[in-house]
Amino acid sequence: MSHAPFARRLLTIAASERYGPYIVHRAADPDGPAPAPGQFTMLSAAERWGGGDDGRPFLARAFSVARHLDGEAHYLLEDVGPGTRRLCELEPGEQMWALGPLGRGFHAPHEGRRAVLAGGGIGIAPLVILADTLTRAGTPASAVILGFRDSERARAGRLIDGAHLATDDGSAGHQGPCTELLAAELERDPHAVVYACGPAPMLEAVRSLCAEAQVPAQLALEAGMACGFGACFGCVVPRHGGGYLRVCVDGPVVAASELERVVEPGQAERVAAV
Amino acid sequence: MTVSFCGLELAHRVINGSGTFDIHAARRTFGAALDESFPFAAFVSKTITLEPREGNAPPRLWESAQGLINSIGLPNKGLDAYMREEVPLLCRLMARAPSGARVPAPLITNVMGPSARELERLVEACDERTEVAAIELNVSCPNVSSGLDIGADPGELEAVVGATRARTRKPLIVKLTPNCADVAACAAGAQAGGADAVSLINTLRAFALAPAGAAHARGPWLGGRGGGLSGPAVRSVALAQVAAVAERVEIPVVGMGGVQTTEHARDLLDVGATLVAVGTESFRDPAAATAIASAL
């Protein structure tokens, strides 16, 4: 894994591409170390960060690096709140603060295991750089399965060549959750290792599917976090066997076996709430 | 050209707030760069308790207007593991003085306990370790018998500080709670009990309601129910409390609360603080304290 420079740095947006409601910002990052697939960056807009309704956003937001090519970092964004909205607005020439690369990324497949990639929605981002990296290493993914809500969002499926698509409404590719395609794939090839990223319910389905099929899985988790480098202890998820993992430094990529289940923030058991 | 604080010689006037920086995790993330450009003139540990704590159930964070509400719950390995595993790794940090000279950044261990007796044990353990340069008492903890925060009552605070004072000759800093009727009176109580310095403000008690729209009744968002507010939102409150405390006591004051820039740090120094701590801003930029200190 790459170490991050010990300070945030300014990146200038070079270009932006739209994929339905998603945006890929390509930002010049000449000083940024090449990230390992699965590592992430904390991003905030250099201007008007905090000037919105309710005095938000205030904290930077975590984004997986989707690509790191020719001195440019690519980030996949969707407007889902005040922070992502402000970042999505940025135009070429405007700047954002970046701290990273952070966290632990994906591990290469063990000898003899073929990589199967499963992504959901905005969670396809780390699979883009992973697919690139596996191809360059001469061990391309044997299958890439991407699930989206609808055909508009499924446009982002073009970010990975040869991906099989699934949509909730059937407007592109298979109708149904992408885990149905994943189940079929694991039946066909039990010597797989699954790399997955997506919303918590999808990751929980992947985790339970892989546990049943006895296929190892690496899951890239998402959690709200204040810092991204282990300082705030805010981004924890329950660890299998007790205690918590910090998503930022113990993850964001964790072995599925490290979790009892994938829980959505806000739905974790509130054991300390009594 | 160092700064004297309770007998310690520091590279500059900026330290960290307890629980806002994790050295091990930062070394993993930033590698050698962390030690080469360590931002703080002294390092304050996260709060250490007698027994290990897992911390609160998630969610633990809520972004508010220009601030952060946290309900972390003081996760730590407990006193024994802290002394055995962490202290040896925390005691060799070096800060850079304005002259460019490298000056040791001493370790200040922050401890919390629900009774004077437990705090005495924690303080004794710190006293025995040469690597621990000073001790900070977190008194934002409910008393086991009264249920009230130890630090919120001047008389009780004086008694607790007096009891722990007897257990160490190391500098004893009392981290005051802002959630009290009269913080200056509490500071005076800490001073009367024998504190060498006070630090403030800790987070302001706060609450976040789960987002609207869920089918069920809206409850607390945070797993620990209540939380503490920090960040720019508390800066004016911090300035008022630091000014009130500095006016009341003779001992040095460590001021903190929403410091993001050199100007904010300067404000706290100008109302009487000797040192300034940076906390939440380090979450946004781990090197924030470096920039603040270098322009002071």
Element (H, E) at B96: strand B94-96
Rounded CA-CA distance A222/A248 in Å is: 9
CA separation, residue B52 to residues A36, A169, B79, B111 (Å): 34, 49, 7, 12
User: Is residue B141 annotated as a catalytic residue, yes or no?
Assistant: yes
Rounded CA-CA distance A164/A169 in Å is: 15
> Residue with structure tokens 């006193």?
B79
- Rounded to two decimals, the pTM is 0.96
Statement to judge: residues A52 and A141 lie in one domain: no
Statement to judge: residues A90 and A143 lie in one domain: no
Give the residue from A174, A198, A220 where a domain finishes. Answer: A220
Stretch A230-247: mean pLDDT: 96
Please give the pLDDT value at position B231: 97
Distance from CA of A51 to the nearest CA of B (A): 9
Q: Is the dihedral of CA A204, A206, A210, A213 positive or negative?
A: positive
Element (H, E) at A77: strand A72-78
Out of B6, B91, B126, B141, pick the active-site residue: B141
- Give me the tens of pLDDT residue by residue for chain B, a chain 296 residues long: 799 999 999 999 999 999 999 999 999 999 999 999 999 999 999 999 999 999 999 999 999 999 999 999 999 999 999 999 999 999 899 999 999 999 999 999 999 999 999 999 999 999 999 999 999 999 987 777 777 788 999 999 999 999 999 999 999 999 999 999 999 999 999 999 999 999 999 999 999 998 877 656 788 999 999 999 999 999 999 999 999 999 999 999 999 999 999 999 999 999 999 999 999 999 999 999 999 999 99
CB-based burial of residue B146 (10 Å sphere; 0-12 exposed, 13-18 middle, 19+ buried)? exposed
Rounded CA-CA distance A22/B225 in Å is: 34
Statement to judge: residues A119 and A164 lie in one domain: yes
Tell which B residues from 126 to 155 touch A, by Cβ distance under 8 Å.
Answer: none
Beta-ladder partners of A270 = none
Sheet holding A9-19, edge to edge: A61-64, A40-45, A95-102, A9-19, A22-28, A72-78, A67-69
Identify whether B225 is part of a domain.
no
Q: Show the tokens assigned to A186.
A: 């694991």
Residues in chain A: 274
Tell which B residues from 197 to 236 touch A, by Cβ distance under 8 Å.
Answer: 210, 220-221, 223-225, 231-233
Please list, in sequence order, all residues whose beta carbon lies within 8 angstroms of the beta carbon of residue A21, skipping any fewer than 6 positions away. A78, A79, A152, A153
Please list, in sequence order, all residues whose beta carbon lies within 8 angstroms of the beta carbon of residue A185, skipping any fewer than 6 positions away. A116, A143, A145, A192
Statement to judge: residues A118 and A88 lie in one domain: no
Q: B54 — contact with chain A (CB < 8 Å)? A: yes
Please give the pLDDT value at position A264: 79
Identify whether B48 is part of a domain.
yes
Statement to judge: residues A89 and A124 lie in one domain: no
Identify whether B93 is part of a domain.
yes
Measure the CA angle with vertex A261, ends A260 and A264; round to 5°.
Answer: 140
Instruction: Reply yes or no on whether the pLDDT at A66 is more than 90.
Output: yes
Rounded CA-CA distance B145/B155 in Å is: 15
User: Chain A: residue nearest B25 by CA?
Assistant: A230
Number of domains chain B contains: 1
Rounded CA-CA distance A43/A26 in Å is: 13
Identify whether A153 is part of a domain.
yes
Q: Are B136 and B73 in contact (CB under 8 A)?
A: no
Rounded CA-CA distance A64/B186 in Å is: 46
Please give the pLDDT value at position B145: 75
Tell which B residues from 66 to 85 touch A, by Cβ distance under 8 Å.
Answer: 66-68, 70, 72-73, 75
Identify whether A130 is part of a domain.
yes
**Interchain contact, A227 vs B34, CB within 8 Å:** no
Q: A247 — contact with chain B (CB < 8 Å)? A: no
User: Chain A: residue nearest B231 by CA?
Assistant: A58
Find, among B112, B119, B187, B124, the residue nearest to B157 by Cα.
Answer: B187
What's A152's domain CATH number?
Answer: 3.40.50.80
CA separation, residue A241 to residues A238, A244, A245, A252 (Å): 9, 9, 11, 19
**Interchain contact, B33 vs A5, CB within 8 Å:** yes
Identify whether B215 is part of a domain.
no
What's B238's domain CATH number?
Answer: 3.20.20.70
Cα-Cα-Cα-Cα dihedral of A44, A46, A52, A56, to 10°?
40
Alpha helix positions (H), chain B: 23-30, 32-36, 79-81, 87-90, 116-127, 154-165, 183-192, 235-248, 262-270, 280-284, 288-294
Please give the pLDDT value at position A269: 41
Tell which A residues from 116 to 155 touch B, by Cβ distance under 8 Å.
Answer: none
Identify whether A78 is part of a domain.
yes
Identify whether A176 is part of a domain.
yes
Q: How many helices (H) and strands (E) does chain A have?
A: 5, 16
Give the residue from A40, A69, A102 where a domain finishes. Answer: A102
* Partner residue opposite A233 with nearest CB, options B36, B72, B282: B72
Please list, in sequence order, all residues whose beta carbon lies within 8 angstroms of the beta carbon of residue A154, skipping any fewer than 6 positions away. A20, A146, A148, A165, A167, A171, A172, A173
Identify whether A1 is part of a domain.
no
**Interchain contact, A268 vs B57, CB within 8 Å:** yes
In this prediction, residue A268 has a pLDDT band, given cuts at 50, 70 and 90, of: very low
Using only the alpha carbons of chain A, give its radius of gyration: 18
pLDDT in tens, B198-231: 999 999 999 999 887 765 678 899 999 999 999 9
pLDDT in tens, A119-148: 999 999 999 999 999 999 999 999 999 999
Is this prediction's ipTM beyond 0.85?
Answer: yes
Statement to judge: residues A93 and A134 lie in one domain: no
Please give the pLDDT value at position B216: 63
Distance from CA of B190 to the nearest CA of A (A): 28
Distance from CA of A3 to the nearest CA of B (A): 5
User: Chain B: residue nearest A7 by CA?
Assistant: B287
**Interchain contact, A8 vs B285, CB within 8 Å:** yes
State which residues form the domain around B162: 3-55+74-207+231-294
Identify whether B216 is part of a domain.
no
Statement to judge: residues A23 and A95 lie in one domain: yes
Percent of chain A with pLDDT over 70: 96
Identify whether A73 is part of a domain.
yes
**Interchain contact, B24 vs A273, CB within 8 Å:** no
User: Chain B: residue nearest A227 by CA?
Assistant: B283
Please give the pLDDT value at position A246: 97
Identify whether A262 is part of a domain.
no
State which residues form the domain around A156: 114-220
Please give the pLDDT value at position A54: 77
Identify whether B275 is part of a domain.
yes
Rounded CA-CA distance B177/B245 in Å is: 12
Statement to judge: residues A60 and A155 lie in one domain: no
Number of domains chain A contains: 2
What's A69's domain CATH number?
Answer: 2.40.30.10
Give the residue from A102, A136, A169 where a domain finishes. Answer: A102
Identify whether B161 is part of a domain.
yes
Identify whether B160 is part of a domain.
yes
Rounded CA-CA distance B106/B113 in Å is: 23
Rounded CA-CA distance A178/A173 in Å is: 10
Instruction: Reply yes or no on whether the pLDDT at A207 is more than 90.
Output: yes
Element (H, E) at A178: helix A178-188
pLDDT in tens, B130-179: 999 999 999 987 777 777 788 999 999 999 999 999 999 999 999 999 99
Q: A98 — contact with chain B (CB < 8 Å)? A: no
Please give the pLDDT value at position B162: 97
